[in-house]
């Protein structure tokens, strides 16, 4: 029987690298599987941010733990283990299925990869795949909502200003990198707990603490490959690992599964390396997002997950919302009333994790529980918080003046006539859905009020994302995942991302390299003629992919 974390000595969490790893050319798995007991009042989102993970990564790895109200001292699996996407190891690569960005840097000591979690386009507003480049970079960007967003907000009676200046209300955060595909950016966010969710209108969101170093390191003209690979595999030592995510709605799961099985069969035959096909089927079915060993003779899933290195709680989790001191005074907002303590705590956690946070707490009143937000310095701030709660969580909040409270409790007269509707109980399952939380943090996904304007790509109205049959597959095989002796790959292997006939991408004007902004010598020397290892097809020229407006954020 494998030992439990309690039976093993815990190591310090900072002993393990979170973002940057050395990777050999023939290897494709980096990182370490960890586990840690969660502290009082903490959420899975708090743990995820501290360890450089996104919401879905931590939630899918822990399907039996309520992400917003976990049991005290629950042992949380921290999946800091990643399979690199099948793409040329150059510049920035973003795998939409994994909601993760990888940046490759080659040097005298080999290749180094730095990886960060990201938030991507929500359903119906999918982030496009393709090969692009960084066109320009802006610190402290202003946000200019598109005409569509302005009209939409005006229709809802929630008008937006023509320009949102840099600051806490700006959904682009403190840094933005504009891509050569118009209207798409890699940027920070004022909703950090939306990272790891399909929450944007197509842009790539990053934690504030992650976008800053990436902004400083990435060069103008640096290539950016965006792929959508729900099934990725690669070697760690002599063991093959398979990592699976639930395919997005625009993909064909059946075609993807057939393709990956054919790919793995080719590797098995070429390398004379037997694989465990029962485990492969289990990984594809469960799609938990954790790299699993599938070589024959590898440890069972139970043993592998139990082998996660136990680490001690660091004491304070980075980025966990800090609530203001409550002196019993000030303006407040009555947010919800429920008979369930768990529901009240869950709603409280969601409010505390908005961006910016809405401070809230659950209060027991008789046999029911109330969620009270605040305190706020004045009526204006309280009304703004109530507006956000109503728009984002579809609750019926009420503003409470200082005289309408007794020792921080709402007076009975403030209780809404209709009690807060109880969300459905959380269903335990082996295969978690895309959003495991019973109270979907919609406030993290679609900010509505004027103070928290909904993110919309900047510039001209964003082109519609092509339907699955209209988007050509552009994924490049990962050299490390293919032995040199492999036979030629069938076309189905190279069209892993998207089923359907290939068509030409939309016509876009080309921008000569000479007219691009200045770049480093390293980035300027990269071109489509640069060979890709193992005789794989060369990537399209990222610099001529499309033009971008010189003042895109102003249009």
**pLDDT tens digits, 257-266:** 999 999 999 9
Residues 373-391 have a mean pLDDT of 91
Instruction: Give the confidence band of 355 by pLDDT, cuts at 50, 70, 90.
Output: confident
Q: Could you list the residue range(s) of the whole structural domain that residue 432 is in? A: 331-441
Rounded-to-integer distance, Cα 37 and Cα 201, Å? 35
Mean pLDDT, the chain, as a whole number? 76
Residue 425 forms part of a structural domain:
yes
Render pLDDT for 274-288 as a digit per residue (tens, 0 to 9).
999 999 999 999 999
pLDDT for position 333: 95
pLDDT for position 2: 54
Q: Is the pLDDT of residue 362 over 60?
A: yes
Give percent above pLDDT 90 in the chain. 58
Q: What is the pTM of this model?
A: 0.74
Residue 266 forms part of a structural domain:
no
Establish whether 313 is a catalytic residue.
no
The total number of residues shown for the chain amounts to 555
Residues 498-502 have a mean pLDDT of 32
pLDDT for position 328: 64
Q: Which residue has the higher pLDDT, 462 or 163?
A: 163
The dihedral sign for the CA sequence 284, 290, 296, 298: negative
| Domains of the chain: total | 1
Q: What CATH number does the domain containing 434 carry?
A: 3.30.70.1070
Q: Is the pLDDT of residue 552 over 70?
A: no
Helix axes 379-393, 341-352, angle to 10 degrees: 110
| Rounded to 5°, angle at Cα 289 from 284 and 291 | 85
Q: Which residue has the higher pLDDT, 34 or 535?
A: 34
pLDDT for position 44: 96
Residue 337 forms part of a structural domain:
yes
Instruction: Give the confidence band of 159 by pLDDT, cuts at 50, 70, 90.
Output: confident
Residue tagged active-site, from 50, 187, 353, 387: 187
Residues 193-203 have a mean pLDDT of 92
Inter-residue contact 374 to 324 (CB < 8 Å)? no
Reference 544, options 67, 131, 148, 141; nearest CA is 131
Rounded-to-integer distance, Cα 328 and Cα 348, Å? 18
Residue tagged active-site, from 203, 248, 353, 387: 203
């Amino acid at each position: 029987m494998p030992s439990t974390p309690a039976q093993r000595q815990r190591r310090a969490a900072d002993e393990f690298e979170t973002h940057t790893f050395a990777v050999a050319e023939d290897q494709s798995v980096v990182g370490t599987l960890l586990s840690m007991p969660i502290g009082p009042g903490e959420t899975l989102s708090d743990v995820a941010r501290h360890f450089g993970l996104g919401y879905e990564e931590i939630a899918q790895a822990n399907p039996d733990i309520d992400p917003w109200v976990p049991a005290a001292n629950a042992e949380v699996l921290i999946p800091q283990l990643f399979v690199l996407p099948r793409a040329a190891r150059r510049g920035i690569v973003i795998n939409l299925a994994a909601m993760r960005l990888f940046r490759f840097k080659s040097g005298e000591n080999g290749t180094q990869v730095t990886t960060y979690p990201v938030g991507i386009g929500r359903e119906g507003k999918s982030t496009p795949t393709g090969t692009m480049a960084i066109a320009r970079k802006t610190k402290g960007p202003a946000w200019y909502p598109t005409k569509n967003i302005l009209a939409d907000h005006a229709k809802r009676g929630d008008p937006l200003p023509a320009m949102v200046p840099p600051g806490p209300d700006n959904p682009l955060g403190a840094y933005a990198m504009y891509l050569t595909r118009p209207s798409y950016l890699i940027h920070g966010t004022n909703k950090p707990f939306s990272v790891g969710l399909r929450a944007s209108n197509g842009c790539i969101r990053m934690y504030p603490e992650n976008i800053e170093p990436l902004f400083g390191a990435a060069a103008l003209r640096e290539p950016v490959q965006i792929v959508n690979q729900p099934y990725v595999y690669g070697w760690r030592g002599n063991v093959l690992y398979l990592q699976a995510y639930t395919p997005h709605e625009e993909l064909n799961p059946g075609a993807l599964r057939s393709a990956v099985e054919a790919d793995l069969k080719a590797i098995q035959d070429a390398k004379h390396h037997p694989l465990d096909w029962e485990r492969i089927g289990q990984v594809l079915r469960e799609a938990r997002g954790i790299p699993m060993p599938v070589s024959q003779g590898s440890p069972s899933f139970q043993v592998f997950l139990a082998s996660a290195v136990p680490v001690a709680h660091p004491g304070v989790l980075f980025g966990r919302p800090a609530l203001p001191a409550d002196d019993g005074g000030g303006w407040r907002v009555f947010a919800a009333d429920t008979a369930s303590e768990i529901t009240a705590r869950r709603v409280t956690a969601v409010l505390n994790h908005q961006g910016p946070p809405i401070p809230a707490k659950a209060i027991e009143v008789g046999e029911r529980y109330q969620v009270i937000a605040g305190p706020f310095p004045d009526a204006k701030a309280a009304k703004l918080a109530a507006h956000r709660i109503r728009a984002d969580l579809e609750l019926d909040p009420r503003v409470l003046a200082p005289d309408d409270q007794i020792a921080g409790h709402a007076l009975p007269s403030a209780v809404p006539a209709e009690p807060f509707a109880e969300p459905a109980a959380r269903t335990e399952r082996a295969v978690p859905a895309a959003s495991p939380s019973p109270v979907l943090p919609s406030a993290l996904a679609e900010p509505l009020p004027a103070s928290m304007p909904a993110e919309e790509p900047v510039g001209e109205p964003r082109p519609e994302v092509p339907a699955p049959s209209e988007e050509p597959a552009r994924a490049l095989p990962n050299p490390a995942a293919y032995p040199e002796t492999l036979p030629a790959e069938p076309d189905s292997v190279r069209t892993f991302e998207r089923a359907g006939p290939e068509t030409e991408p939309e016509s876009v004007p080309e921008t000569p390299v000479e007219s691009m902004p200045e770049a480093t010598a390293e980035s300027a020397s990269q071109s489509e003629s640069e060979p890709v290892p193992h005789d794989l097809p060369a990537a399209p020229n990222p610099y001529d992919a499309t033009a971008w407006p010189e003042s895109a954020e102003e249009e």
